[in-house]
Amino acid sequence: MLSPSEIMQLIQSLIWLLAGVGVFIVGMNFMGDALEKSAGKGMKSLLEKISNNRFSGVGIGAGVTAIIQSSSATSVMVIGLVNAGVMTLMQATPIIMGANIGTTITGVLVALKNDYFNMAMYLLAFAGVMMGFFKKEKIKIIGSLFSGLGLIFVGLEVMSSEQAFGNPLVENMFTEVFKKIDFPLLLILVGVIFTALIQSSSASTGVVITMVGAGVLPLDLALFIILGANIGTCVTALLASVGANANSKRVALIHFTFNVIGTILFTAIIWIFREPVVNLLVSLFPGSDPMSLQMRVSVFHVIFNVTTTLVLLPFVKQLVKYSCLVIKDKNEAETNLTLKFVDDRLLSMPPVALMQVKKEMDYMLSLVEENSTLSFVAMDTGSLEHDERIRRNEEIIDFTNSALTKFLIQLSSGVDQSDEKVIGSYFHVLNDLERIGDHAENFHEIGTEMIAKKISFSEKARGEIASMRESVNEMFAISKDAFENLNRDKLPALADLEESVDGKKKSLIASHFARLAEGNCNVDVSPYYSSVVVGLERVADHLVNVGYSIVNPTGSQDEYD
């Protein structure tokens, strides 16, 4: 029975232990965020090179995870990219496998710690904090990286100190606990639960490695907990897939299945050949010093993930087919609007998110252009055959404008200064595209009303509107090319066309009123004619803003006139 003082001492040690875990996780997050920001454009170029080559997929997954130090974060990103249509299941599966290899880097770093290495890391943490006071963003990011790396080892030192695992009471407590759960499946469950709770296999692996180094946890038991940690890390991806499309859920299932198959395979081997496996790891790193003890666990973690990847890589197609059998496609109602290329999970990768926003806006521009063409069919032919198509396109345009605006507001807090200007220009373009869509809807409504009233424009009026539309269509082509391909070559021609449309509006309105005065025009069509001409001129204004947005964040050509 423990005395009150021993109980208090035990509580203090456990609090110290939890504090060490907390500092470790904070350090991981600091370092991951800093690496992600500094390597953002590199990650973007990596993802742009995604192909169906399995080995390059594994390399990309390992590389990205080594950068951000979290296989869970990589899995969530991949789910977001699949949900946004950036990559296929066949491309995502090897990346998920590679992510499991990339996450082992943290374990190796943890195992390398010793007194001299620790002191260097503490100094690095201090230097990182000091760098945070600089004004330059790049220096601040490097400072965050140094601080994070240093804090990881501060956390590890706190965990392995006399106040935590070094306390005999704590050591005896863990020894008794592990005697009672010395059963592989229970140990695996411990690893699953602990990792699921702290949402990081890197952190849970770091704790296990530290416990082995402190002599609190026997090596053979630690191996099973490590296996469980690899399953526990899938919880984050499974949660991230909630609310996503079927393919995103399949990515999470493949990630889970990969680790379960690997765990079953290694559990069987270690359960049957426990002593030979332990002896092999001991022979690789002989000695009783903490580093040798720790390296045995971290190397096993590497072997587990590399071997599982090598075993399952030839079966990527089968894993994809299995996921499709388990998770069926659902026939979503047409009214359930979603963004085509953008997913909230991409907020953790600002450069990639911006790339996807651009794709979404290109798609929105194509819908706006389509509606602008279809909206005149009713006026030209007296047919309402495109009524439903125009309505549906306008619904998507309005939804895209609202959803992308909200997404960009969230994204703006995580981008650098140059990307802030891009986001600013996107806000303007979204507004311009939505307004052009409204004008197109108005043109269609004018045609619908004229059909209902059985009235139409004269041949003269039709010819004038057609001439103005031709100029506007030319502007559509130039603006679309400028925005989608960042082509500035024809921007001066765009400005000239806009001036031409302005002039046409004035002359057409004047000639229309002259016809009215002479009695050569039906009074009933007069308001419709004026609305069409004025609307086309306003469409031209918005188009020139869209085109010039690539050189001016205010979305206007004024400073280039």
pLDDT in tens, 366-416: 999 999 999 999 888 888 889 999 999 999 999 999 999 999 999 888 777
Residues lower than pLDDT 50 in the chain: 332-335, 554-555, 558-561
Identify whether the C-beta of residue 201 lies closer than 8 Å to the C-beta of residue 103: yes
Q: Which two tokens stand for residue 95?
A: 């990346």
Cα distance between residue 402 and residue 396, in whole Å: 10
CA 198, 199, 204, 207 torsion-angle sign: negative
Q: What is the pLDDT of residues 42-75, one digit of tens each?
A: 555 665 566 677 888 888 888 877 766 667 777 7
Q: Which two tokens stand for residue 502?
A: 């302005």
DSSP 132: T
State the Cα torsion 272-276-280-285 to the nearest 10°.
100
Cα distances (angstroms) measured from residue 421 to each of 109, 425, 455, 503: 38, 6, 48, 33
Residues of the chain with CATH 1.20.58.220: 344-560
3-class secondary structure, 88: coil
Q: What is the pLDDT of residue 351?
A: 77
Q: What is the pLDDT of residue 405?
A: 94
Identify whether the C-beta of residue 545 lies closer than 8 Å to the C-beta of residue 556: yes
CATH class of 344-560: mainly alpha
The pTM for the full model equals: 0.68
Q: At what angle do helices 246-272 and 71-83 cross, to 10 degrees?
A: 150
Q: What is the pLDDT of residue 37?
A: 64
Identify whether the C-beta of residue 85 lies closer than 8 Å to the C-beta of residue 245: no
Mean of the per-residue pLDDT values for the chain? 83
Q: What is the pLDDT of residues 186-226, one digit of tens each?
A: 999 999 998 888 777 777 888 888 888 878 888 999 999 99
Q: What is the pLDDT of residue 68?
A: 67
Closest CA to 148 of 28, 41, 37, 47: 28
Within 13 A of 2's CA, how many CA atoms are on the CB side? 13
